Every structure is written in C-alpha cells, then in structure tokens.
Amino acid sequence: MNKSFSNMAYFPSLLSTLFFLLVSPSSSQPTEFFFPGFEHLNDPDNLTLTGVSQIEQNGILRLTNATPRFVGKAFYSSPFRFKNSTNGPAFSFSTSFVLAMVPVFGRFGGHGLAFTITTSVDRRAPPNQYLGILNATEMGNFSNHLVAVEFDTVQDFEFRDMDDNHVGIDINTLHSNASVPAAYYTRGGSTKQNLTLKSGKLIQAWIDYDSVENFMNVTIAATSTKPTSPILSFHVDLSPFLQEFMYVGFSASTGNVLASSHYILGWSFKINGQAPALDISSLPSLPGQPKKHTKLIVGVSVSLSVVVIALSVAIYFVIKIKNAEVVEDWELEIGPHRYSYRELKQATDSFNDKTLLGRGGFGRVYKGTLGNPSTQVAVKRVSHESKQGLREFVSEISSIGRLRHRNLVQLLGWCRRRGDLLLVYDFMANGSLDKFLFDEPKTILNWDQRFRIIKGVASGILYLHEGYEQIAIHRDVKASNVLLDDELNARLGDFGLARLYEHGSNPGTSRIVGTMGYIAPELPKTGKATTSTDVYAFGAFLLEVACGRRPIDPDTLAEEAVLVDWVWEKFSQGRVLDVVDTRLNGLFDEGETMMVLKLGLICSNDVPAARPSMRQIVRYLDGEADLPEKLRPPAVFDGGAEGFEAFVHSFSSLSLSSSSSSSSPSSSPSPSDKMSSYPFLTNGDASTN
C-alpha cells in the first residue's frame, strides 16, 4: 500500500482519476479520500475553509498564520455516514495526516490544532485554548456530539493540561478524556522517542477507531513509517457521541501572544478500513524550506562575502548597543512577550490623551493598536510617583503572566525602559464593572447579566486559589478591578498586589494593602493575606453587585453607611430584598438574589474560619449545594476553629429568611461601631501601609 500510493505522486492523470473515484458520492455517501497535498482543492465541493485558513500556492493547507487571536478551520465538504441509524453502533474509521506547527517566538508558540469530528463545519468558538472547536458554555455538553484529537502546545490549567506538548482525546469537552506527552515508539515498541509538536518539523499522525474492540488509538512519528504501538490508546464506545452523519476536518487557533502557523501537508481518511498511506517525501515543502532535489550554487567571491558580512555585523551591533533597552537578570525569568518601547509608543499615538482609558493610583491606561491585522490592546503605564512601583510591577508580570483562565484578564506582554514600566493587556471593550453599578451609570445591567458576572469572577478566583500550580492571592477583589468584554463577560484584573505561595505552605506577613471596605478585619492583626481574605473581599463584591452600592458610603444615611450591616439589618427584619438595586425595577430572580445576598453575608463574617472556600462558593452559585437556612450576624462567630462546614451546623437558633419575623439581633454592631473597627483605614479607595 505504501509503495503504490507514493508512486502515484508521479502520475497526475492517474492520481486525479483515483481521487475522483475515492470521493465521488455516486449513489451513496463518500467513504474515503486521499489528499497528497491540497493543490486545486479550493473548490468548496472538496474542502470548506473558514476563518483564516487557506491553501498556499504550493498545495499546503495553512490553518492559521502567525497572527494572534485567530481561528482557522478546514473540513471535508460532504458529511460521512458514521452509523446506519441514529441509535446504531458507530463504524470503524481511520485517518492519517502530516502536520507542522511553526512558532513565532522560537520555542514559544500556540495554541495548537485538533482533528475534529463534528455535526457542523461552522461551529462558533473562540481562539486561544479552545482551539476553535468549543466555547466556555458548551464544555461537557452531551449535545455537542464532538470527538477530537488535540495536538496542544500550551499548558492550560483551566483544562488541567499535563504540559505544553501533549496529544489528547477530547469527547464533548477540552478536558481531555485521555492524554500523553507527544512521543512515539521505536525499535519494535521498546523505546520511546520524544517529539516536540511546535518544533516546526513535519510530524505524521494516525488515528484509528475500532468499533468491535471499542478502542481509539493515536500514533505519531517523525517519518512516514507508522510505529507498531500507538502512543495513546483509549477504550471508548463512540456510538453515543457520534450521529449518523458527521463532518471531519481540522481546527487550529492562536493565542493573545503565543502564536504559531499551523499546517496540514497531506490527509487521508476511510470509513471501515485503513486510510491510504501518505509518503512525506512526496508532499509539498513547508514555506522557507529549500525545494527538494535543488542545489545551492555559490557565485560570490569568498573574500568579498567575509568583508560584507563583517561590516554588516559591526554596523548592526553599533546600532543595537546605541538603542538598547537594559535587560536585567530578573527580567529573563518573567515570562510573557516583551514589547519594545517604540512599539507601544506608536500603538498609543505617543500616549496621547485621546487614547486615555482611565487613571488611578498606579498611573494611566491607554488604548492601543498592535500588529497587522490590528489588535486592540490596553497599555497600563505605571507612573514614576506611583506607590505601585517596580516591586508591584514585577509581581503583576510574574503572576498574571503565567495564569490562563477565561475569567482573568490576559496579560499579553510588557515593557521596561529606564523608569517607564508598561503592561499590555487584552482590550476590554466595556471597561470596568463599577461604571455599570455606581454614580448614575448610563447602562443598567439586568439581573441575568449581574449573576453571570458574579459566577465568572467566582470561577476566576477559584482558579487562582486551587487551579494554578501555586496559590495566588489577588488581594484587591472589587468591582473596579473586574473588566467586561464586548459581550459583558467578566474578567478579574489588576494583579499588582497579588502574592503567590506554595500549596500547603503558610503565607508570610506583608504590608497591609487593599481598598477600604474590602479588607478582612484580621489582616491588620496578622499581616497575612490568605484565600480567606480574598473570600471576604468577594463577599463585599457580591453585595455591591446586588445592591448597586459601594461597601462603605459615607455620603448616605448613617444606618446605611456600611453595606454589610445594612443588608444584615434588612435580612434580620425579613426585608432583605429591599436592598436590591432599585434600578432593576423589581425584575430579578428572587431565588438567585436571596442566595447572592446570603452568601455575601456569610463571606463577610469577621472570623476567617466562618467563611466558605471559593470551591464551596462556586458550588452554591452553580446550584450544586444549598446555603444554610440559619445565619448568624457577620460580626459574630462561635463555632471555634473548626471551619465553615462545622460553623454552619453548629448552631440551632436564629433561623432567618426573606419572610422571617422583624427583629434585629442585639449582637449585630451598629454602623458606627462597625466603622470604628476599621481604625487602620483612611478615607477613599487608598492602599494602606
């Protein structure tokens, strides 16, 4: 088989005839095809290309180029019959293809590509870690009817990826059902040879599904010879996941900064049989590689070449040294892409006030345009006089630069030039959440939008606390640090105060920072920022989103100045829904609103052990657990040090709900008492030292 198909590359007329016979539908659905290159296949009857995918002049299928934040897809235009009936067993199938991933920044590339079996060729999905095949709301849905094999080149902690160089089998989700580091077996299956997916070199892949044994095997190699043992074997019956008719193809995506050109050089597929073999040597060459069988002819004098090269090198280094931006040792360990100062100056029109998005204690944020095609970004310029100086700048780069979650603002890169410190982020079209909650907002968020924002922020904080390789404490959770994209999806940002420490270790003491109304009362005593202090701030966030009020508002009535006390007073009177933002005009889900308000009170307890963890909070918000019916005042806790679970079961009095009797507990401090318990805070949203 190998020999017959490799020889066909030299007989175009015979090959085109065979191609027609293989894919011509005749009286039934196609059962196989063979593409030793993709020249002349731009006809939509053969391949359906979407996104930035295209067929190059030399016959290579390019799914993406090196441009960030793009998706490219290519599917065989006709669906294949994978079952005889809706409820019947799935057929066996086999496919083989040759791929290449060429990263932009040396070893830094992404995000990867996936062979995909799906019900639709135009499934809408974002780039980045989603590879263009699913979106966040579809993850794990049985109705997806999606089977994919991913070739992933970025470690995404949201999907619990093992590393940034693995092969995985994904069924209805991007949390791989099975995955392994990219490698192949040699010498009869006794030796494993590692492969780097984003090396820019050609890699051949074979995917085989056996419907009798219910096994899906994935094999890869650096040559056309198929190893005898697969690198990944997964026992699964695909019958429940495949529909009668499905499309087969590829999807690839690039990230915000991490980008690769993703190529497919050849592809074959067959239902109920072995896909025709591909011969790498007969496939088109990658761009930039010398054509096969060509010779390099040197016709320039060696001595003249040496002189020209020497002068060029000398001139280059003179210019380089003159315009060099100093790079210190610690900067080499930071992570994300480093932009030049010239790039960012040009992107922001020399930091023109017309591009100014906002200002704060840290400095200014400008809107910029980078790349070709252009991508909108936000450039944060830390001021020289800012309290958020070099230490916080480095903290923000080193922490958020390695964090990846759909509900965290993505850091794209950074720049340091003399005293100028700059960070580059995704541009969030709708700005910060506080502009939609306070001070007569132009747009009023409805309850569904608010609840989705709350769940998004909770998911992001849970990732910080438990989903990353270290524990990340944000230390400044509040509405003004939650940014909204063009679809009003929430992303937590501003990691300048963030701190990292190892799981299981005890966080050290540090200076007290944060914003009045969000700082946990134990923090000034212990000096230790913990996951529980983030939970306290999240409690204040819950209440401000539901009530449309800041946690502390000295301009309002004295009894309403401290939001948590006012909410508790109304709760104890059975009138808690009176605190809901009046701009909602009573249009909200009472069950969800009650849960948010009660959860805000629980998170705002003065004693850390009385607060739930973020995992418990997410379970409440997702409806996987019920909040306790009985609550104690936020300033009272008598459950000892056993923790939240013991706390909510440790008392038997004061059962309150929205319909409870009107009585205010004597143990609840008045707003003035509550204010006096914050002697360490100054007026306004200022960090404390």
Closest CA to 92 of 285, 284, 271, 223: 271
The pLDDT score that the predictor gives to residue 433 is 94
Sheet holding 411-417, edge to edge: 337-338, 411-417, 420-426, 375-382, 363-370, 356-360
Q: Which of 545, 425, 413 is nearest to 477 (CA)?
A: 545
Cα gap 677→673, rounded to integer Å: 7
How much is the average pLDDT of 598-614?
Answer: 92
Quick check: 520 and 637 in contact, CB under 8 A?
no
**214-228, 239-253, 399-413, 605-619: which range is least confident on average?**
399-413
Helix intervals (H) in 412-508: 447-462
Between the alpha carbon of residue 138 and those of residues 119, 177, 528, the distances in Å are 14, 16, 39
> What is the pLDDT, as a whole number, of residue 488?
93
Higher pLDDT, 398 or 185: 185
pLDDT at 633: 79
The proportion of the chain whose per-residue pLDDT surpasses 90, expressed as a percent, equals 39
> Can you tell me the distance from the alpha carbon of 85 to that of 81, in angstroms, rounded to the nearest whole number?
9
Q: Please write the tens of the pLDDT for every residue from 650-676.
A: 433 333 333 333 333 333 333 333 332
Q: Token pair of 123, please?
A: 């499934």
Average of pLDDT values for 37-65?
A: 84
What domains appear along the chain, each with residue ranges and CATH number? 2-282 (2.60.120.200), 329-426 (3.30.200.20), 504-676 (1.10.510.10)
pLDDT at 414 (0 to 100) = 82
Position 139 scores a pLDDT of 80
Identify the H or E element spanning 529: none
Average the pLDDT over each of 447-456, 564-573, 582-591, 624-633 and give the range with the smallest value: 624-633
pLDDT tens digits for 154-193?
877 678 788 889 999 999 998 899 999 999 988 666 788 9
Distances (CA, A) of 467 to 157, 170, 463, 470, 614: 6, 20, 4, 8, 11
Alpha helix segments (H runs only) across 587-670: 590-603, 614-621, 644-648
- Angle made by CA atoms 22, 16, 270, in degrees to the nearest 5: 25
Identity of the amino acid at 672: S
Which is catalytic among the residues 152, 156, 426, 476?
Answer: 476
Angle (CA) 429 430 433, round 5°: 145
What does 624-687 look like in DSSP terms, one character per residue?
A: SSPPPSB---TT---STTS-HHHHHTS----B--TTS-----TTSPPHHHHHHT-TTPPSSS--
Cα–Cα distance measured from residue 149 to residue 171, given in angstroms and rounded to the nearest whole number = 9
pLDDT in tens, 317-353: 444 444 445 554 444 444 557 788 888 999 999 999 8
Structure tokens at 543: 């209440």
pLDDT tens-digit profile of 243-272?
999 999 999 988 766 688 999 999 999 999
**Which residue has better confidence, 683 or 44?**
44
Q: Which of 169-183, 187-201, 482-496 has the highest mean pLDDT?
A: 169-183
What's the confidence (pLDDT) of residue 511?
Answer: 60
Contact 552, 510 (CB under 8 A): no
Using only C-alpha atoms, the chain has a radius of gyration, in whole angstroms, of 29
Residue 411: both structure tokens together: 């850091």
Phi, psi (degrees; rounded to nearest 5) at 524: -65, -25
Mean pLDDT of the chain: 78
Tokens of 642: 């056993």
Looking at per-residue pLDDT, the higher value among 356 and 6 belongs to: 356
At 277, list the tokens.
Answer: 């073999």
Question: Does residue 401 register a pLDDT over 80?
Answer: no
Say what the alpha-carbon torsion angle 586, 591, 592, 593 is, to the nearest 10 degrees.
50
Confidence of residue 15 (pLDDT cuts 50, 70, 90): very low
Q: How confident is the model at residue 307 (pLDDT cuts 50, 70, 90)?
A: low
Q: What is the mean pLDDT of residues 210-225?
A: 94
398 or 683: which carries more pLDDT confidence? 398
Residues 6+ apart with CB under 8 A from 635: 605, 606, 667, 668, 669, 674
> Which of 78-92, 151-165, 520-534 shows the lowest per-residue confidence on average (mean pLDDT)?
151-165
Q: Is 380 annotated as a binding residue?
A: yes
Could you tell me if 501 and 475 are in contact, meaning their C-beta atoms sit under 8 angstroms apart?
no
Pairing, β 166-171 against β 178-181: antiparallel
Quote the pLDDT of residue 660: 33
25 Cβ contact list (under 8 Å, min separation 6): 78
Give the Cα separation of 614 and 621 in Å (integer): 10
- pLDDT above 70: percentage of residues in the chain: 72
Check whether 137 has a pLDDT greater than 90.
no
CA gap 113, 100 in Å, rounded:
10
In sign, the C-alpha dihedral spanning 562, 568, 572, 573 is positive
Mean pLDDT of 506-520: 73
At 46 the pLDDT is 83
**Neighbour-count burial of 27, counting CB atoms closer than 10 A to its CB (0-12 exposed, 13-18 middle, 19+ buried):** exposed
Given a cut of 80, is residue 283 above it in pLDDT?
yes
User: Is residue 306 very low, low, confident or very high in pLDDT (cuts 50, 70, 90)?
Assistant: low
Which neighbouring-strand residues pair with 83?
90
**Confidence check: pLDDT of 383 > 50:** yes
Name, in order, each residue with C-beta under 8 angstroms of 408's C-beta and a sequence gap of 6 or more.
400, 460, 463, 464, 491, 492, 493
For the ranges 209-213, 316-320, 403-407, 684-688, the lowest mean pLDDT is seen at 684-688
Q: Supply 169's token pair.
A: 């089998």
Q: Which residue has the higher pLDDT, 571 or 416?
A: 571
Task: Go through 52-72 and write b for each residue having 16 or more CB atoms within 10 A of its CB, e for each that does not.
Answer: bbbbeeebbbbbbbbbbbbbb
Residue 239: the pLDDT is 94
Across the range 121-137, mean pLDDT stands at: 80
Residue 557 confidence class, pLDDT cut points 50, 70, 90: confident
Contact between residue 346 and residue 355 where contact means Cβ atoms under 8 Å apart: no
Tokens for 673, please give them.
Answer: 């008492």
pLDDT at 536 over 70: yes
Per the annotation, the verdict on 170 as an active-site residue is: no
Retrieve residue 158's tokens.
């949201």
pLDDT higher than threshold 50 for residue 642: no
